[in-house]
Chains A and B, each alone.
Chain A
Amino acid sequence: MNHSPSPQGGDVLLSVRNLSKRFHTASGPVKAVEDVSFDVGRGRIVGIVGESGSGKTTAGRCILRLVEPSEGEAVFDGVDLFKLPEKALRAYRRRMQIIFQDPYSSLNPRMRVGDIIGEAIDTHGLAKGAARQARIADLLARVGLSPEHARRYPHEFSGGQRQRIGIARALAVEPELIVADEPVSALDVSVQAQVLNLIQELQKELGLTMLFISHDLTVVEYLCDDIVVLYLGRIMEQGPSREVYANPRHPYTKALLSTAPIPDPTVRRERVILQGDIPSPLDPPSGCVFRTRCPFAIEACAKAVPPRESVSPSHSVACIRQAELATLATQKVTA
């Protein structure tokens, strides 16, 4: 099988291979994720970006077995999570956690904060009685809340504080991998920066590995070591984020990066404004799924799904014209 380039650093904690997920709906199968492969190195933050409906959340939920994947494997520390029976999976649930986008619906409104975090501790029998309370207090302090907050209900907190509670719940079981599904998207900029700092501190202190799902390219550039670009369920480009941001090779990545608004009115970039909308995942285009909006599409693009081509040891692109377009670009510069 085609192997995705492994990230720098060697030690791979999670390796996703040929992951596909089809949802069977009344109007037919929805191809939410198709043949996605990537590696997550231990201690690294991997960003998954893409427009709405590109399959980011579905990929994350499949890896955690919150929905059943249709195909593929996810090898976590040597074990294929997709093959584990429900019972055996429970032990792994402790090692992988998730943080959600919506700070409101992600906490049970009828449970006290202490019970929300306590449930995580109880489920895995990590502590009892006074030790349990101490642990809850410690987790709250760690995410910047105070132990007294354990007694309160979620509705008494602001969006940013609720997001901290969600993070504390995830940390309660001392996971190694955290899937963070747009954890700061619903927050105001000033609070977003607070939570981004918290995530980084925790990541460094606890040596966490993260899958950071986001549609905010500025945040991903800042936070992530590696990046995976999804479009209509397929990977368009992947690699170390500095390399991809400095030298995007896929036409979709280029368009995405050029249209992300930058807070500086003096920067006048050459924008690639894509025409039209994302096609329906019920009926994705043949061949390259991006071809209906790609400014460089040619007939051959409709024929076959473009194979992944490496442009550097850890940077790969799924576009049949990437080499040609790269030389075109340099010619333009020299001309």
Chain B
Amino acid sequence: MAAVLSAPSPLTATLPEDVVLRAEDLHTHFIVGERAAKSVDGVTLTVRRGETLAVVGESGSGKSVTSLSIMRLLAHPGRIVRGKILYRMRDGTVVDLATLPEKRMRAIRGKEIAMIFQEPMTSLNPLYTVGDQIMEMIRLHEPVSRHEARQRARQMLELVEIPAAEKRLDQYPHEMSGGMRQRVMIALALSCNPALLIADEPTTALDVTIQAQILDLMRRLQRDIGMSILFITHNLGVVAEIAHEVAVMYAGRVVEQAPVEALFARPRHPYTKGLLACIPNPERDRAADGARLMLNPIPGNVPSVLNLPPGCTYAPRCPLVEPRCEGEAPGLVPAGPGHLSRCFRHELL
């Protein structure tokens, strides 16, 4: 156990100053009897201070399990079986969340790292007013009076641009629209000033015009408060709008991490490239005479986490596959400035 006492932790030196969170070769499995669902099977990613790291991947690629591992909120029988989750606390010390005792974890949730989810209705308690829920959160972490907490709660609603904040404090979640509830979730998450916000598909359930409002709000809050964001999504369009850095996940692994411009300009992993080709693009997909051209889908399906192929997990669908890929798993290697790729043949791209 990497118990961090008063002395500076030996871990502190291992994390560069500007890095808030770094997962190293994280493995989270769900073990039922003989079978292990390897939902997260080698995730390495880095979140820098004040920046947004977008984690993008198709459903089942392990995005949510990664975020729940970081928060240590995994449901039974999920377990972190290997790897480190280094986190730099606000006071500068570095802890390994993967092994931190539950008691210390509780002090970190909400206060250091906060989380928002895709469906705001299920993560807000329908029986309490939103004001009560924000006040409870504040008073859980800070010794303030009810009155003070209410003031703060109102300020939080104003911060997330909810009109008539004072009146909204006394409303129940079901009295609000989806976009409004997501704002409340953000207010709740930010009420204790976390250094890192994990947002798991926060706009997926929303309409585009409301999604634009929420993305705009998150960008503004980041600029004003300077928090770091781990933003999970399956939408590459949203990634392009919000991210500084991008980590692409496939079948439980990060297959590529790069600054956002670099990733879109020149993806260095065949999966990322294939994913981008799947999204219709009116310029690319129309012939000169305006006729539609066919899309270039990735063949086949995502493999089951119960039965991952040996070697490179993308090999069954990869156009660049060679014999070596099927026997040996590629590591995450540098493929350009700040660019990492988990592919033997990334030079070809």
Contact = CB atoms under 8 A, between A and B. Distances in A.
Contact of B209 (A160, A193, A194, A256): A256
Contacts of B238: 261
Given A263-B279, A265-B264, A273-B216, A194 B297 contact: yes
A189 B280 contact: no
Contacts of B243: 265
Interface string B296-335: 1111011000000000000000000000000000000000
A280 B261 CA distance: 40
Interface in A152-189: 158, 160, 188-189
Contacts, number: 118
A277 B206 CA distance: 11
Interface in A188-221: 188-194, 196-197, 200-201, 215, 217-219, 221
A223 interface: yes
A264 B177 contact: no
A15 B294 CA distance: 29
Interface residues of A, number: 41
A160 B297 CA distance: 12
Given A218-B279, A221-B280, A261-B240, A189 B209 contact: no
Contacts of B281: 218, 222
A83 B237 CA distance: 45
A165 B292 CA distance: 25
Interface stretch (B132-140, B147-155, B270-278): B270-278
B208 A260 contact: yes
A190 B275 contact: yes
B234 interface: yes
Most A-side CB within 10 Å, residue of B240, B260, B264, B280: B280
A197 B294 contact: yes
A263 B297 CA distance: 16
A255 interface: yes
A158 B301 CA distance: 8
Contacts of B209: 51, 255-256, 259, 273-274
Interface string A246-271: 00000000011001111111110001
A245 interface: yes
Interface in A286-301: none
Contacts of B207: 51-52, 215, 278
Contacts of B297: 190-191, 193-194, 197
B261 A263 contact: no
A67 to B, nearest CB: 23
A128 interface: no
Contact of B213 (A158, A160, A273): A273
Nearest to B317: A190
A189 B240 contact: no
Contacts of A267: 240
A60 B344 CA distance: 49
A52 B239 CA distance: 22
A124 interface: no
Interface string B205-228: 001111111001000000000000
Contacts of A52: 207
A188 B249 CA distance: 13
Contacts of A264: 240, 264
A271 B212 contact: yes
Given A189-B234, A263-B240, A265-B260, A273 B212 contact: yes
A218 to B, nearest CB: 5
A245 B296 contact: no
B107 interface: no
A245 B280 CA distance: 14
A242 interface: yes
Contacts of A263: 236-237, 239-240, 264, 276, 279
Contacts of B275: 189-190
Given A189-B58, A256-B209, A266 B264 contact: yes
A266 B237 contact: no
A160 B294 CA distance: 18
B237 A193 contact: no
B213 A265 contact: no
A265 B298 contact: no
B280 A277 contact: no
Contacts of A273: 209, 212-213, 216
Nearest to B60: A188
Nearest to B236: A263
Nearest to B271: A190
B236 A188 contact: no
B235 interface: yes
Nearest to A261: B237
B282 interface: yes
B236 A189 contact: yes
B280 A218 contact: yes
A222 B241 CA distance: 21
Most A-side CB within 10 Å, residue of B180, B294, B297: B297
Contacts of A219: 280
Given A189-B275, A259-B209, 16 more contacts: A52-B207, A158-B301, A160-B301, A188-B59, A189-B58, A189-B278, A190-B297, A193-B295, A197-B294, A218-B280, A221-B282, A222-B282, A245-B282, A259-B211, A261-B241, A273-B212
**A-B pairs, 10 with minimum CB distance:** A261-B237, A222-B280, A193-B297, A259-B212, A193-B278, A188-B58, A51-B207, A263-B236, A190-B298, A194-B297
Interface of B: 58-59, 177, 179-180, 207-213, 216, 234-241, 243, 260-261, 264-265, 274-282, 285, 290, 292, 294-299, 301-302
28 contacts: A51-B210, A160-B301, A189-B278, A190-B275, A190-B298, A193-B297, A197-B297, A215-B207, A215-B208, A218-B281, A219-B280, A259-B211, A260-B237, A261-B211, A261-B240, A262-B237, A263-B240, A263-B264, A263-B276, A265-B243, A265-B260, A267-B240, A273-B212, A274-B209, A274-B212, A275-B213, A277-B179, A277-B210
